[in-house]
């Protein structure tokens, strides 16, 4: 298992980690068939989506924040219930096929770390299976 450190600079942010994962895959996943990406945090997630147009990231965050605004009167005393809900909706893991030590993603796809309680330094766990 390999650890990636991801540093966010905003409360809500999508950070493209595709190149970092591909680098690990080339070094350690050549004889493997899949890559497991897991976020061990309850207020962050991992998603696969378009990485060609930066407005897609903006739109995803706008949509998620519209679905789960941070101003609702949640009971959780830490004040980050919206982050817990957003992370639960998007999910904590992705499994991506590998071919010749590279992620097999669609033409426009990328892997994003989704931060909902930043800014923070986080860990993403990568396993090759």
> Confidence band (pLDDT; 50, 70, 90) for 122?
very high
Question: In whole angstroms, what is the distance from residue 104 CA to residue 95 CA?
Answer: 10
The CA angle 86-105-129, to the nearest 5 degrees, is: 85
Q: Residue 95 pairs with which residues in a beta bridge?
A: 36
The two tokens of residue 95 are: 């499994």
Overall average pLDDT of the 87-115 stretch: 97
Tens digits of residue pLDDT in 20-32: 999 999 999 989 9
Residue 3: predicted pLDDT: 97
CB 129 within 8 A of CB 33: yes
Q: Give the closest residue to 64 by CA, choosing from 77, 83, 43, 81.
A: 83
pLDDT of residue 57: 97
Question: pTM here?
Answer: 0.95
Nearest to 44 by CA among 113, 121, 93: 113
Q: How far is CA 87 from CA 46, 95, 115, in A?
A: 8, 17, 8
List, for residues 6-64, the tens digit of each pLDDT value. Answer: 999 999 999 999 999 999 999 999 899 999 999 999 999 999 999 999 999 999 999 99
Dist. CA 44–CA 18, nearest whole Å: 17
**What would you report as the CA-atom Rg of the chain, rounded to the nearest whole angstrom?**
15
Instruction: Name which CATH class applies to 2-128.
Output: mainly beta
């Amino acid at each position: 298992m390999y650890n990636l450190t991801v540093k966010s600079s905003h409360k809500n942010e999508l950070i493209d980690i595709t190149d970092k994962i591909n680098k690990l895959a080339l070094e350690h996943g050549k004889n493997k068939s899949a890559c497991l990406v897991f976020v061990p945090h309850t207020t962050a997630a991992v998603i696969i989506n378009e990485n060609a147009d930066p407005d897609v990231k903006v739109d995803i965050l706008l949509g998620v924040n519209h679905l789960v605004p941070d101003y609702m009167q949640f009971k959780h005393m830490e004040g980050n219930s919206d982050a817990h809900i957003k992370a639960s909706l998007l999910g904590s893991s992705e499994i991506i096929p590998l071919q010749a030590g590279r992620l097999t993603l669609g033409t426009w796809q990328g892997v994003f770390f989704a931060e909902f309680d930043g800014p923070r330094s986080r860990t993403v766990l990568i396993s090759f299976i």
